[in-house]
Structure 1
């Protein structure tokens, strides 16, 4: 294996989609904002993605142009989840982050309320007048006993939204077009098709008893939908069959077939992702030993090409060392957790879904051993070499995840791959992952089957909100098959025939 640091300069550039910002006419005091768009007189649909993960808590405001289907960023407010306040006397602890921060319904609600309000104030918007919909999700699953226990967390997120002034009707699908804001009502197809659980024409996997087969399934669903929207900006046709990988602190994602009008989920990813490079940097002495993460370093330091050329052998050796501790395999039936994530592999198998997980020891217990990799890099080299090593570690994880999917006949030359999440799209990771995908020999033109995007989950929240309210764009569809047409007609035929959609 060779690092080939010059590959990103000499080879094709990876398709990276970044959300463009939309400037608004501010309704509240926001110095420096340019007045360009008045939401009250346009076809923009404003959605807030509220998410509390193991590392960050975010409120990302997006505005989708319902005429073109393209989504823009209005504001991104990010806080560190480690800063959630401690439980107060009498409050019930219902879970914890991967790093052990205890969570109560009240503490989560307060953090969400604050984050939501700050995001709207920064964008010059009001929650009651401008916000059309809120989608809530969480990647915090380390303290849960079962996949379906995540429901308690979603309720805590709802508490925070309601306390911030979000009307409950803006968190649930509309029953008919008349329930929608008159400004966007004309863009809805609720009189033709109803929301039946498929987001961007992909059905979610459910266990045989109706419970989720992996605790952060909704995050995987949102990331997949978000990459579909992001790919529009990058010029890549990311429609079924697809493979999405979200490299947040925990790993999520899904693999679909080419079913029509709805694709089925045939593979799911779970376990650890960004937690792995976080564990490496915690051994460097540059961040807090327990709660520190890569974000604490990358806001000050970034590796360069010279670092990779001079230290390529050291980078490879340390990346291989890290991967000696990393297991990537199909999750065995007897496991209830994989990489701190509650899973139900038996239900997955019974439902025709293969669960692929990334693990370090049993249930993440060997993560502290990765501290030694970071300690060695800092002692012998420098912080830039360590960051370059993290890029290669992530690229090797992506390669192993894809090879495992290929071994189990989950992906083929028809599949398009989408990557999102901080541990998959930053630094030189896109170039390195493109290099490894090319080396797999699966695609004639690998760059046409690979796309990277920021904020996949938040983009997916905007897509889910549109799907729930049938706000489609038939001339520029997100759903359906790669190279195919809109599935509106097929959905109408299916629903009007009264057929039951099987997941």
Structure 2
């Protein structure tokens, strides 16, 4: 049982997780000073466009090439379910986790519109001001064939092209001659060899990683993103690390401490934000098929609800947690939590697959919806969100404990989390307490 008074005091005055807040920069600061009144600092402007199962995002960042810090220029977020419906002459090549039909043309238009709006909002020219674009997707975690994945990747590229982004800004520079003159004094491209490492971590040895788990590259990007965010927190988030991304699907990786680049020794996959989404659908306040927890979420930490409902919150969190499986992915599974996997291939290259499922590929999701209906009808929305906060902490605790028990992580391993189902509400505080309880660290470094 959680002591509600102790919980409220600790949330307010106790040790806190290190949370990276996006540091903004005004677009005017990115423009060259025509009068040369101040030192000219080149900024590398990047657009990251991602089409996920729940949201489609374009995040504009500017990296100061002098101090290496990355700042937020703008962020545009849309609900993926609002992508336009397929036209009669278009071929549907896949769906999101909730069943939204996708065509190459509809995805490319969604990408185009999101990119253009993100730049227009801050009066930046997508053709001249942008230096690079990164494309990614979480939707392919549930796809069934390489052809479907290929179509989606092409759709992302199409969207960038029709938005006006030149092809040369969609691929990395391979020599110093391909780098704009203003950045050449800040590159080490002539002194390093690209080995495939991203964020200081090599993908699973002998493969791109996709062969063993469909969303390995998402875990790769999450790890790199957490490492970048850690620069603003004072946390030394160097290898070995355990990164967890609690988006709609679960992704992440565990690295070892080899140098100069660490090796991926484990991947995680399955359901994450899809779990609270299933619970929320029981309220009847969101669409039964496409509804998400984000539809009802408000960024208020409802701490006081624990004073009156702590035992009820714990009861329902336990009920939800009992339907969630977190384990080493069995050898006989070709999907786990809807994500295509190949556990035998993973074992051959000494990579551990850790999965999170609800029944068999979500077969018990309707039971989560029933629990959600009961919580909402008897105790209301605040109690429901508090219970979901606790569920996320329980999931993280189970993931970390499983990794400890299988000797995949140690006290040298830094743990970082991102994604809506891990960093909203009271989740960060509950997660920190859950990790501390496991006794992995002699001293937990918090902020």
**Do the two structures share a fold, i.e. TM-score over 0.5?**
yes
8 Å contact from structure 1 (residues 141, 340) kept in 2: no
- C-alpha offsets along residues 287-332 of structure 1, whole Å, 9 cap, x if unaligned? 1111111111114x73522101210000000000001110000111
Q: Separation in 2 of the partners of 1:211 and 1:247?
A: 19
Number of the residue aligned with 1:24? 27
- C-alpha offsets along residues 130-171 of structure 1, whole Å, 9 cap, x if unaligned? 111111111003551147853331211011000101111111
Number of the residue aligned with 2:14? 11
Q: Separation in 1 of the partners of 2:237 and 2:210?
A: 28
Q: Separation in 2 of the partners of 1:13 and 1:143?
A: 35
Task: Give the 5 Å matches for 1:30-429.
Answer: 36-38=29-31, 41-141=40-140, 143-146=142-145, 149-205=148-204, 211-299=210-298, 302-429=300-427
Q: Separation in 2 of the partners of 1:390 and 1:211?
A: 31
Number of the residue aligned with 1:2? 2
Distance verdict in 2 for CA 1:363–1:226, change over 3 Å: same
Q: Separation in 1 of the partners of 2:44 and 2:269?
A: 32
Q: How far 1:10 moved relative to its partner?
A: 3.9
- C-alpha offsets along residues 100-152 of structure 1, whole Å, 9 cap, x if unaligned? 01111111000000000000101211111111111111100355114785333
- C-alpha offsets along residues 49-78 of structure 1, whole Å, 9 cap, x if unaligned? 110000000110000112111110111001
Question: Which runs of 5 or more residues in structure 2 are unaligned?
Answer: 34-39
Any idea what SS the aligned residue of 2:213 has? coil
Q: Separation in 1 of the partners of 2:247 and 2:159?
A: 23
Distance verdict in 2 for CA 1:278–1:210, change over 3 Å: closer
Q: Separation in 2 of the partners of 1:191 and 1:286?
A: 57
Q: How far 1:207 moved relative to its partner?
A: 6.1
Distance verdict in 2 for CA 1:143–1:203, change over 3 Å: closer
- C-alpha offsets along residues 246-275 of structure 1, whole Å, 9 cap, x if unaligned? 000000000000000010000101000000
Number of the residue aligned with 1:33? none
Any idea what SS the aligned residue of 2:46 has? strand
Distance verdict in 2 for CA 1:229–1:156, change over 3 Å: same
Distance verdict in 2 for CA 1:208–1:79, change over 3 Å: closer
Distance verdict in 2 for CA 1:39–1:73, change over 3 Å: farther
8 Å contact from structure 1 (residues 227, 418) kept in 2: yes
8 Å contact from structure 1 (residues 242, 415) kept in 2: yes
- C-alpha offsets along residues 164-184 of structure 1, whole Å, 9 cap, x if unaligned? 011111111112112111111
Instruction: Kindly tell me the number of residue pairs found equivalent between the two proteins.
Output: 438
Q: Separation in 2 of the partners of 1:401 and 1:237?
A: 22
8 Å contact from structure 1 (residues 245, 418) kept in 2: yes
8 Å contact from structure 2 (residues 205, 263) kept in 1: no
Q: Separation in 2 of the partners of 1:269 and 1:78?
A: 25
Q: TM-score, normalised by structure 1?
A: 0.84
Q: Separation in 2 of the partners of 1:3 and 1:279?
A: 28
Distance verdict in 2 for CA 1:216–1:143, change over 3 Å: closer
8 Å contact from structure 1 (residues 3, 316) kept in 2: no
Highest RCO, 1 vs 2 (Cα 8 Å, sep ≥ 6): 1
Distance verdict in 2 for CA 1:186–1:339, change over 3 Å: same
- C-alpha offsets along residues 316-359 of structure 1, whole Å, 9 cap, x if unaligned? 00000001110000111111111111112111111111000100
